[in-house]
Amino acid sequence: MLWPHKNEQQITADDIILLHSCSGLALNNEEQASLGKECEDLKILLQQKQKELNNLKSRFQELADSKETSEFVFKGCQELEVLNIEQCNKLDFENPKLKNRLHQYEDKFEDIPALKRHMNTVQSDNDELNLKLQEYAAELEGIPSLKRRIENLQTDNTELEKRDKHKDGLLQKSESTVQKMQKDNQKLQTEIISQNQNYDTLKIKLESLKDKNLELDERLRRRSPVVVAEPKNCQNCFKYRNDISDLKREINDLRDRLSEAAGNKLRDNNPNIADLSDMNRPTSLAEKFSSLYTDEYTDAMEVIEDDMDEAASVKVMLDWLKSCYDWCQRLAKEQRETLINRSIGFMQEHGGQKVVLSDRCLIFVKEFQKKIAVESLAVVGQICHVKSVTQQTLSRENYIVKYIKKCSELCWMMQISDPPLYVNFDVNSGENLNKNDYNVFTKSGSKIDYLVWPVLYLHKTGPMLAKGVAQGK
C-alpha cells in the first residue's frame, strides 16, 4: 500500500513542472510569480519527502534482517503511509485548482499573437515618437542660434527704421533743396537769357568788326601801291591791323569770361555739378583720401607702433588727421574773411559806404582761393605740422612728416571746395558697424570698438565718397 502512492506523487510532480513551464507564458507578472512560488514550494516538499522515503527504505533494508526491529519498521511504514496519504490527498485537492488556472493561462496564451501585433504597433509608434523627440531635441539645440538671429534681425530692423527716418529727413531736405534749386534755376535762366542777349550783342559787334576788318583789308589792298609810295600810309595800315588784333583778343576774352561766369554760377554751392577740368574735384580728392590710408598712413603707422600698442597707434594717427582737418577748416574760413574784409575795407577807408558783397562776388572770392591754393599750402602745411605733432622725436620722422603733409594738403583742398567736403569723426564705441560705410580693420563684429579711418562725404548731408575703416567687436 506504500509504493503505489509513490507513483501518484511522481505524476503530480510532473503536472506541477508542466504547469510551471506553461506559467512562463503568462502575461500577468503577479500571478506568474505566485504560481511559480507555489510550484517551487511543492517541488521542494516533494523532494524532501522523497528523500525521507529513500532514507526509510535504506533503514528498512538494514533492519529487515533483525526481527527485533520488524515491529518498529512496520510501525514507521504505517506512519509514513499515513503521511503519504495525507500528502496525496493534499495534492489531489490542489491539482484541480492548478489545472483550472492552467486552462485560464492557456486561454490567455491564445491571445498572445494579437498582443504581439499590438506590441509591435506600440513599438513602431514608440520608434516614431523617439524620432520626433530627436528632431525636437535638435530644434531645441538650434534655439540659441535662432534667438541670436532674431536679435540680429531686430537690430537690423531698428537700424533700417533709423535709416528710413534719416532718409525721410534727407528727402524733406532734398525737396526743399529742389525747390531752392528750382528758384535758382529760374534765376539762372533769367541770367542766361541776359547773357545770351549780351552774347548776341557781342556777336553782332564781332560781325561788325569782321565787316570792318574786311573793309580795312580791302582798302589796304586797294591802296597798297600808295602805301609803298607813302610811308605815312603804311604806318596807318599797321596801326589798323594792331587795332583789329586787339579787338579780336578782346572778343575772345569776353567770350571766355562769359562761359566761365556761367559755369561758376551753376557750380556755386552745388556739388552735383563738377568741373571736370579741376584736378581737385570731389571724386579726385576721394581717391587721394583712400590712397592716403593705404600708403602714407601705413608707413607712418610702422614708425609709432614700436612704442605703443595697436589701438593707441590708431588713435594717434586719427588725432593727427583730425587736427589737420580742424585747422584747415579754421584757416580756410579765416582766409575768405580776410579777402572780403580787405576788399570792403579798402573802399570804406576811402569814404565809401558799407558794402555787402553779392553772391557773384563771393563766387570770385572762392575761385580766387582755389587759384592761390598751392601758394597757401606752404603756410597751411607748416601750421598743421606744428599744431598736430607735439612730440619732437616724432616730428622729425620722415614718414610722419610725409603723412602730416599729405593730410594738410587734402584737408585744405576739401575745405576750399564749394561746398566743403565733410569728414565724419563723430563715431562712438558701441555703434552698429555698417558694412556699407566701413571696412573691417583686424576684427569683425556687429558693433564698432573704435574708429580707424573716417568716412568722406560730398558735404555734411551729402552722399558718401569714400568708405571708412573701423575695428569690430
Q: Give residue-wise pLDDT tens across range 413-466.
A: 999 988 899 999 999 999 999 999 999 999 989 999 999 999 999 998 889 999
**Grid coordinates standing for 305?**
607702433
Residue 124 within any structural domain of the chain: no
Residue 132 within any structural domain of the chain: no
Would you place residue 468 in the very low, low, confident or very high pLDDT band (cuts 50, 70, 90)? very high
Query: Is residue 229's pLDDT more than 60?
Result: no
Same domain for 19 and 105, yes or no, is: yes
Same domain for 375 and 430, yes or no, is: no
Residue 436 within any structural domain of the chain: yes
155 vs 243, residue with greater confidence: 155
Same domain for 409 and 427, yes or no, is: no
Which of 110, 125, 151 is the C-terminal boundary of a domain?
A: 110
Would you place residue 66 in the very low, low, confident or very high pLDDT band (cuts 50, 70, 90)? low
Question: From CA 284, how far away is CA 408, in angstroms rounded?
Answer: 16
Mean pLDDT along residues 209-215: 75
Query: Is residue 41's pLDDT more than 90?
Result: no
Determine the pLDDT at residue 463.
92
Residue 158 within any structural domain of the chain: no
Determine the pLDDT at residue 234.
52
Same domain for 354 and 297, yes or no, is: yes
Regarding beta strands 468-472 and 438-440, do their DSSP bridges make them parallel or antiparallel, or are they unpaired?
parallel
77 vs 286, residue with greater confidence: 286
Same domain for 408 and 291, yes or no, is: yes
Query: Is residue 160's pLDDT more than 70?
Result: yes
Question: From CA 184, how far away is CA 106, in angstroms rounded?
Answer: 109
Would you place residue 48 in the very low, low, confident or very high pLDDT band (cuts 50, 70, 90)? confident
- Cβ contact 437:460 at 8 Å: no
pLDDT tens for each residue of 359-374: 777 788 888 888 888 8
Residue 141 within any structural domain of the chain: no
Determine the pLDDT at residue 207.
76
Mean pLDDT along residues 110-117: 72
Same domain for 469 and 394, yes or no, is: no
Same domain for 374 and 360, yes or no, is: yes
Same domain for 396 and 445, yes or no, is: no
256 vs 286, residue with greater confidence: 286
Residue 221 within any structural domain of the chain: yes
Mean pLDDT along residues 286-299: 93
The mean predicted confidence, pLDDT, of the chain is 76
Query: Is residue 228's pLDDT more than 90?
Result: no
Determine the pLDDT at residue 6.
42
pLDDT tens for each residue of 297-325: 999 998 888 778 899 999 999 999 999 99
The percent of residues above 90 in pLDDT, for the chain, comes to 21
Mean pLDDT along residues 204-216: 75
Number of domains comprising the chain: 4
Same domain for 93 and 17, yes or no, is: yes
Least confident of 275-279, 288-292, 421-425: 275-279
74 vs 93, residue with greater confidence: 93
Same domain for 297 and 406, yes or no, is: yes
Mean pLDDT along residues 176-200: 69
Determine the pLDDT at residue 106.
66
Would you place residue 352 in the very low, low, confident or very high pLDDT band (cuts 50, 70, 90)? low
Mean pLDDT along residues 73-79: 73
Which of 210, 237, 267 is the C-terminal boundary of a domain?
A: 267
Query: Is residue 273's pLDDT more than 50?
Result: no
Question: From CA 448, how far away is CA 396, in angstroms rounded?
Answer: 33
Same domain for 261 and 306, yes or no, is: no
> Is the whole model's pTM more than 0.75, yes or no?
no
Which of 82, 110, 138 is the C-terminal boundary of a domain?
A: 110
Mean pLDDT along residues 328-345: 87
Mean pLDDT along residues 199-219: 73
**Structural domain range at position 440:** 421-473
Residue 104 within any structural domain of the chain: yes
Residue 273 within any structural domain of the chain: no
Question: What is the distance in angstroms between the CA of the first residue and the CA of the last residue of the chain?
Answer: 105
Same domain for 394 and 452, yes or no, is: no
Determine the pLDDT at residue 367.
86
Question: From CA 182, how far away is CA 366, in angstroms rounded?
Answer: 23
- Cβ contact 449:424 at 8 Å: no
121 vs 189, residue with greater confidence: 121
Would you place residue 25 in the very low, low, confident or very high pLDDT band (cuts 50, 70, 90)? very low
